[in-house]
Amino acid sequence: MRLLLVEDDTRLAEELSKSLRHKGYAITHMPSAKSALDSLASNEFAMMILDLGLPDMDGIELLKIAKKKYADLSVIILTARDTTTDKIDGLDAGADDYLAKPFDIEELLARLRAMERRLGTATSSLIDINEVSLDVASHELGVKGEKVELPRREFMLLKALMENHGRIQSKQHLEKTLYEWGEEVSSNAIEVHIHNLRKRLPEQFIKTIRGVGYSVPKQAR
């Protein structure tokens, strides 16, 4: 899941980005409205976390512009403005959720998971297919009842496939899900991650559709 974080507080942005990456999100941080709009124009994001107190434009105005151009972009406002009027203005401008600072990172993560469910990329925090169980909230993988450790990107890849079980995910789409804007991606990165995952999963759990992409069948065999 690729997120755009628009926040002018560098320290907060760094801490937040670190926490979100640890939970499997690919984060692109932009400190201003202009840089955020430039990034939206050249990249595909599923969600945006938006601070309202930006240096070059009020966040509400940025929100209106972004939603007009990118109607499918889900937005959660993260701001120190905490009055009822502020919340109403933000939601009416197109935000999907609103969280006031200071905030608890676990609450933000729960709200992001709820947004993913509304997007249709997840139905719950626990994805269970045959003998493979993926807990998105606790970042844990279970295979045949045994806990299996996964590196962050392989967890992200398996999450993307299991959330979309029965549907083919192209290599290009998976790269966009796993890697951040401007990050160098080797030509065989996805293949390597798939190879590593298959060593930990039941046989034929991840299928290759040659020339198209990968999928986890609804009933993996």
Q: Tell me: do 44 and 7 sit in the same domain.
A: yes
- pLDDT value for 121: 54
pLDDT band at residue 118, thresholds of 50, 70 and 90?
A: confident
Q: What angle do CA 30, 81, 107 make, to 5 degrees?
A: 75
Domain containing 153 equals 127-215
Q: Tell me: do 60 and 164 sit in the same domain.
A: no
66-103 pLDDT, tens digit each: 999 998 899 999 999 999 999 999 999 999 999 999 99
CB 5 within 8 A of CB 16: yes
Question: Is residue 220 scored above 80 in pLDDT?
Answer: no
Kindly state whether residue 221 falls inside one of the protein's structural domains: no
- pLDDT value for 120: 60
The Cβ of residue 41 has, within 10 Å, a number of other Cβ atoms equal to 9
Number of structural domains (the chain) is 2
| CATH number of the domain residue 169 falls in | 1.10.10.10
Nearest C-alpha neighbor of 208 from the set 122, 141, 197, 200:
197
- pLDDT value for 124: 60
155-199 pLDDT, tens digit each: 989 988 998 888 999 998 888 888 876 677 788 999 999 999 999
- pLDDT value for 113: 86
